[in-house]
Amino acid sequence: MPTATDTDLTFDQKYDALCRRDSNYVGIFITAVKTTGIFCLPTCTARKPKPANVEFFESPKDAILHGYRPCKVCKPMQLPQAVPDDVEQLLRELQAEPTLRLKDVDLRQRGLEPATVRRWFKKHHQMTFHAYQRMLRLNRAYRDLNGGHRVASTAFRSGYQSLSGFADGFRATFGASPSASTATSVIHRTRFETPIGPMVACGTDQGICLCEFTDRRMLETEFADLERRLSAVILPADNNLHLTQLQAELKEYFAGTRTEFSVPLDTPSTPFRQRVWEELLTIPYGETRSYADQARRIGQPNAVRAVASANGQNRVAIVFPCHRVIGANGHLTGYAGGLARKKWLLDHEQRFAGT
C-alpha cells in the first residue's frame, strides 16, 4: 500500500508554521535552536530564531539525544495545552460531587484567581467556570428525574435553593419543564489531551457520537447538528462510561498498544455515510486505501467524490480511521484535523504495526 513518506514537510513549511505559531503542528515536529541549545514547541512565544540557527526533530526525545534541553517557556516535555494542576483538581472535585457551588471567594481561598479560571474554561469549554458548574448540576438533575426522582427533591439535591430557580434553569437548557424532561436527552461532552493536540468527545448512553480535535473548523456546527439529530442538549460529562472507555482506548492507541477500538458508537447520519464509515473500520491498522478503493468496496465505484465527502463528515476521528484513506497517487488529502496530523497518525501506526 502507498504510504505518506513522499509528503514529508519541508524545512520551509516547518519554519513557516513556526513563525505563525500554528497549533496544528504541535506534536508533529520539535524546533531546536543551535545558538541557545534549547528545543521548543511550534507555538512557543519566545523570539523566533533565524532559519540558519534552526533544526527540526520529530520528538523531544530526538532533540535531547542531539544535546538540546527543553524550553522553560513552552515546556515541550509536557502534553500540549495540558490542564493546569489547580484546574484539574477543580474538575476532579466537580466530577465527584456535581452539586458543589464554588464561588469566587472559594476559588480565592484555594489560591486561585477567578478571572484566570474563567478564562481557562471559556477557552477550553466555551463557557465560564460558573456556567460549567451549573450545567453539571443540570446534567445530574436530568438523570435523577429520568430515574424516577421527584422534581422538588431533585432541585434541592442539585444545589438549587428554590423550585422556581431550578425550573427556569432547566427550561432554559432543555427547552422543557422538569416534569417533561423525557422530551429530550443529554449528550455528554468532555475534553482531553493527546500527543498531537487536545480533543473533544461527546457520548450518549448508547455510545460515542463525536471525537474531534478542538481546532477543527465548524466544530460548533457539528455540535448543533448532533443536538438536532438526537433531540438532545450537550452538557459537560457526568460519569459517562463510554467517554471513560474512549479516553482509555485512545491512550493505549497513542502508546502503540491498541490497534482496534471496542468502544460503542452512536453516529446518526444518512445510510450512505454509515456504509462509508463502516467500511473505514475494515482498513487494517498501519495500512492505507485510496478513495477509489473505498468506493469499490461499498459497491459504488463511481461514487469516489461522494465517498470522500462522507469521509469528511466523519465525526469520530481516529476510531473511524479516515486518516487511512489517501489519494490514488499516494498523496495525503482531505483530513479535517490537518494533513500534518494525518501524516503523524499514519507514521505512528506504521511504526507499531506488527510489533
Q: Which CATH class is domain 80-183?
A: mainly alpha
pLDDT digits (tens, 9 = 90+) for 270-314: 999 999 999 999 999 999 999 999 999 999 999 999 999 999 999
Q: Where are the domains of the chain?
A: 5-70, 80-183, 247-352
pLDDT surpasses 90 at 250: yes
* Active site residue ranges: 322
Q: What is the bridge-based pairing of β-strands 30-33 and 54-57?
A: antiparallel
Query: Residues 22-71: pLDDT tens digits?
Result: 887 888 889 999 999 999 999 999 889 999 999 999 888 788 878 888 89
Render pLDDT for 258-270 as a digit per residue (tens, 0 to 9).
999 999 999 989 9
Matching CATH number, 247-352, of 1.10.150.120, 2.40.50.140, 1.10.150.20, 1.10.10.10 = 1.10.10.10
Tens of pLDDT, residues 81-105: 567 788 888 888 888 887 788 899 9
The per-residue pLDDT for 189 is 92
Distance between CA atoms of residues 332 and 324, nearest Å: 9
For range 192-203, the mean pLDDT:
90
Highest CATH level, class, for 5-70 = alpha beta
In angstroms, the CA 331 to CA 329 distance is 6
pLDDT at 156 over 80: no
Give helix 114-125 / helix 129-146 axis angle, nearest 10°: 60
pLDDT of residue 169: 75
Distances (CA, A) of 292 to 171, 301, 329: 48, 7, 11
CA 329 to each of CA 1, 4, 290, 332: distance values in angstroms, whole numbers, following the listed order:
11, 11, 8, 9
Topology agreement, domain 5-70 and domain 80-183: no
% residues pLDDT > 70 (the chain): 88
Q: Are 46 and 219 within 8 A, CB to CB?
A: no
